[in-house]
């Protein structure tokens, strides 16, 4: 069973990043994912992809770069600065669940396609938590989507006070996303 490790560049500072990575390697991890920020830096941009590269150069296990990849352009810059072929997407994959396809060379997604994924998610989670938790998950996703899709803004406004998943899903189902007329929107 391959065991992998994920780490930040550090807690307060980055001084121990390489030592920690070497320790992970020595312990036999199959690969190492590095979020290019310290804990103190939280989620504030930038992510220091070059620092991930400095680690990659000194270890032999595969290193996966993570942090602040929101677009295809970010992904290409991250690859160039870190020298890592492989990346882990966090919030970027929530804002655009089809970003991996684009990064892998496929078609960029449009909002109707993304909205369809969000609707499927709303259907898939039925029965997996309290109404408040489930509504929270859909709203959290929609909220991240606003960063990439202007269409998500008005939709967020219309669902933000909903406390029942069925009502929330009905609103998502009603929204045609602009140009996806003819698409099945009920679930």
Binding site for ligand FMN (CB under 6 A): 6, 35, 66-69, 89-92, 94
> Nearer Cβ to ligand FMN, position 68 or 175?
68
Minimum CB separation of residue 77 from ligand FMN in Å reads 13
In the block, residue with structure tokens 């920020």: 37
In angstroms, what is the minimal distance from the CB of 151 to ligand FMN?
21
- Angle in degrees, 0-180, between the axes of helices 72-82 and 49-56, rounded to the nearest 10: 40
Give 23 or 154: the residue with its C-beta nearer to ligand FMN. 23
The minimum distance between CB 17 and ligand FMN, in angstroms, equals 15
Q: Cβ 45 to ligand FMN, closest distance in Å?
A: 8
As measured in angstroms, the least distance from the Cβ of 43 to ligand FMN is 6
Query: DSSP labels for the chain?
Result: ----EEEEEESSSSTTHHHHHHHHHHTT-S-EEEEEEETTTTT-S---HHHHHHHHTT-SS-EEEES---SHHHHHHHHHHH--S-EE-SHHHHH-TTHHHHHTT-PPP-HHHHHHHHHHHHHHTTTSS-HHHHHHHHHHHHHHHTTT-TTHHHHHHHHTT---HHHHHHHHHH--TTT-TTS----
Question: Which two tokens mark 65?
Answer: 């770069």
Chain residue whose CB lies nearest ligand FMN: 90
Nearer to ligand FMN, 140 or 163 (CB): 140
Pick 35 or 51: Cβ nearer ligand FMN: 35
C-beta of 69 vs 172, nearer to ligand FMN: 69
């Amino acid at each position: 069973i391959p065991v992998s490790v994920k780490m930040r560049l550090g807690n307060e500072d980055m001084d121990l990043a390489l030592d920690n990575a070497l320790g992970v390697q020595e312990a036999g991890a199959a690969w190492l994912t590095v979020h290019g920020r310290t804990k103190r830096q939280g989620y504030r941009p930038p992510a220091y992809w070059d620092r991930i590269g400095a680690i990659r150069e000194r270890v032999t296990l595969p290193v996966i770069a993570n942090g602040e990849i929101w677009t295809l352009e970010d992904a290409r810059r991250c690859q160039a600065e870190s020298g890592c072929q492989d990346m882990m997407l966090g919030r970027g994959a929530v804002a655009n669940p089809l970003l991996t396809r684009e990064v892998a060379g496929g078609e960029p997604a449009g909002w109707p396609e993304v909205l369809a994924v969000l609707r499927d998610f709303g259907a898939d989670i039925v029965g997996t938590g309290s109404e408040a938790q489930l509504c929270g998950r859909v709203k959290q996703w929609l909220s991240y989507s606003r960063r990439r899709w202007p269409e998500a803004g008005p939709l967020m406004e219309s669902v933000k006070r909903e406390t029942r998943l069925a009502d929330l899903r009905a609103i998502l189902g009603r929204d045609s996303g602009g140009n996806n007329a003819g698409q099945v929107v009920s679930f």
